Structure 1
Amino acid sequence: MLRKLMEGVVEFREQMLPHYTERFRQLATGQSPDAFFITCADSRVVPDLLASALPGSLFTMRNIGNLVPPATVDGVSIGDLSEASGIEYAILVLKVSDIVVCGHSECGAMKAALRKERPSDVPNLNRWLCHAQTAAFRLEHEGALDKSLCVHDQLSQINVLVQLEHLASYPIVRESVSAGTLRLNGWWFDVASGQMYAYDRTKRSFELIDRDLIDRLVMS
């Protein structure tokens, strides 16, 4: 497997790097990404590929289940500081105008979150998945956004919305949204079809991203 990765590096240098030489030269002195993209660590979700994004366009944070531990009233994360640090850096230093939380189909974290009992040999993972429990509670008591999906995909969609709420628990996020300098966006990727969906608040559903949806959501 290491050989495959290293051969990929050589292939990039020989075939692709000439097309990006100037881009990397410009990026060497700093970055100014368009968005902060929070998504799952799942290998099937490739943000730059799916968004046709050039190097330097996305400031990306990945973890199991695309989870964002909420903050206290003082803006301090109740969980791992990595996510909170990424939020602060994206908003205060990079000054991104959009944050995207992107979930996906067949998410292992969502399947695990639905289990009543979990293996005892993964204590860190079990603690981490507590940040998906609000989504599981809502699915059970409020129902799915799309009942045609299997239950773990139903949870994955609701989880995106819950993590957006967790983001909004950070004062710097709320203040930036109120000032009109930041937008929060929920996306969901269907692995089998390769299609990306965005949450439409007016329809309370994830809609296929096409040119009509772009015009409607970006203008709203």
Structure 2
Amino acid sequence: MRKLIRGLLDFQLNARSSYREKFALLAQEQKPDCLFIACADSRVVPNLLVSMDPGDLFVVRNVGNMVAPSDSKGQSTGDQSEAAALEFSLRSLPVEDIVVCGHSNCGAMKAVLAGGVGPENPNLKSWLEHGKAALQRMDANPTLGEGRSDYDRLSQNNVLLQLEHISTYPLVKERLDAGTLRLHGWWFDIATAQVHAWRPLLGRFIPMDELVGEALLRELGTDTHAPGALANGNGAQRMSVVARAQ
């Protein structure tokens, strides 16, 4: 807590002046174009990883970067917080992309791999259920994350599982079919500070270097904010990240 207070004072006394104009504009509205779903792990800092300013990302963080799937009526089958973030970001914000970002050495994945947690943690026990299907995915796809620890392989499979969960929501389906939304799977290797991007055609996560970044930018098009820019692409192709993950 001492470090937290000192950091707050440093921002107030030294950095705040350089951000004052930025926050004055943000006080009127926010216009993030990406919903970023990440783990609550303290070592994963979304804005730092992508060099984004305040107002650039709409962020959801929870244990294990998970989203409970939708039922047939469009209601979350688990905690409603993540589903509420999906609805708000897709209906009230100019969000065109959703990123699910897992990471190495994830405690949630270690717990799932170990069979869950004890009854003394009832809420965590229930929440981890949303990641258990990744165990079956890992068994069915032994090459994904090959050479890494079982919990890191599970973490990568969990990213793909959560993309599938997200795609069960009617609003997400509508946007994917219309070609106005894209889903992305990322995985952060803490030890190397390297982000890996899921590449459906290759069937694996690969390091986000300059060549990969350029390829991803080409897929987004020259100006995704132009009217109809996303819709000009093939709607089925926008869903390929999910379809090929199965």
User: TM-score range with shorter-chain normalisation?
Assistant: over 0.9
Residue 39 of structure 1: aligned partner? 38
Q: Give, in whole Å, the separation in 1 of the partners of 2:20 and 2:115.
A: 51
CA-CA distance at 1:203 after TM superposition: 0.5
Q: Give, in whole Å, the separation in 2 of the partners of 1:48 and 1:202.
A: 28
**Are the counterparts in 1 of residues 87 and 171 from structure 2 also a CA contact under 8 Å?**
yes
1:124 aligned partner, one-letter code: N
Residue 176 of structure 2: aligned partner? 177
| 1:57 partner SS | coil
Q: Give, in whole Å, the separation in 2 of the partners of 1:69 and 1:52.
A: 28
Residue 116 (structure 1) aligned with residue 127 (structure 2): no
Q: What TM-score comes out, normalization by structure 2 length?
A: 0.86
Q: Once the two structures are superposed, what CA deviation does each residue of 1:48-70 show, in whole Å capped at 9, x if it has no partner?
A: 01110000000000000000100
Residue 161 of structure 1: aligned partner? 160
Q: Give, in whole Å, the separation in 2 of the partners of 1:176 and 1:48.
A: 25
Residue 19 of structure 1: aligned partner? 18
Residue 92 (structure 1) aligned with residue 120 (structure 2): no
| Structure 1 alignment gaps of length 5 or more | none
2:52 aligned partner, one-letter code: A
Q: Give, in whole Å, the separation in 1 of the partners of 2:128 and 2:138.
A: 15
Q: Once the two structures are superposed, what CA deviation does each residue of 1:110-156 show, in whole Å capped at 9, x if it has no partner?
A: 00001136322111111100000110111123324121110000000
| 2:132 partner SS | helix
| 2:187 partner SS | strand
Residue 27 of structure 2: aligned partner? 28
Percent of aligned pairs sharing the same letter: 47
Residue 63 (structure 1) aligned with residue 62 (structure 2): yes
Residue 48 of structure 1: aligned partner? 47
1:27 aligned partner, one-letter code: L
| 1:206 partner SS | strand
Q: Once the two structures are superposed, what CA deviation does each residue of 1:164-191 show, in whole Å capped at 9, x if it has no partner?
A: 0000000111111111111100000011
Q: Root-mean-square deviation (CA), in Å?
A: 1.1
* Structure 2 counterparts to residues 64-79 of structure 1, below 5 A: 64-79=63-78
Shift of the 92–201 alpha-carbon distance from structure 1 to 2, 3 Å rule, reads same
CA-CA distance at 1:47 after TM superposition: 0.3
**Are the counterparts in 1 of residues 40 and 64 from structure 2 also a CA contact under 8 Å?**
yes
Structure 1 residue ranges, 4+ long, deviating more than 6 angstroms after superposition: none
Residues 11-20 or 115-124, more deviating: 115-124
Q: Give, in whole Å, the separation in 1 of the partners of 2:58 and 2:192.
A: 25
Shift of the 6–213 alpha-carbon distance from structure 1 to 2, 3 Å rule, reads same
CA-CA distance at 1:213 after TM superposition: 1.0
1:23 aligned partner, one-letter code: K
| Structure 2 alignment gaps of length 5 or more | 220-246
Q: Give, in whole Å, the separation in 2 of the partners of 1:78 and 1:144.
A: 30
Q: Once the two structures are superposed, what CA deviation does each residue of 1:186-218 show, in whole Å capped at 9, x if it has no partner?
A: 000011111111101111111111221122223
Shift of the 95–139 alpha-carbon distance from structure 1 to 2, 3 Å rule, reads same
**Are the counterparts in 2 of residues 144 and 154 from structure 1 also a CA contact under 8 Å?**
no
Q: What TM-score comes out, normalization by structure 1 length?
A: 0.96
2:8 aligned partner, one-letter code: V
Q: Give, in whole Å, the separation in 1 of the partners of 2:156 and 2:172.
A: 21
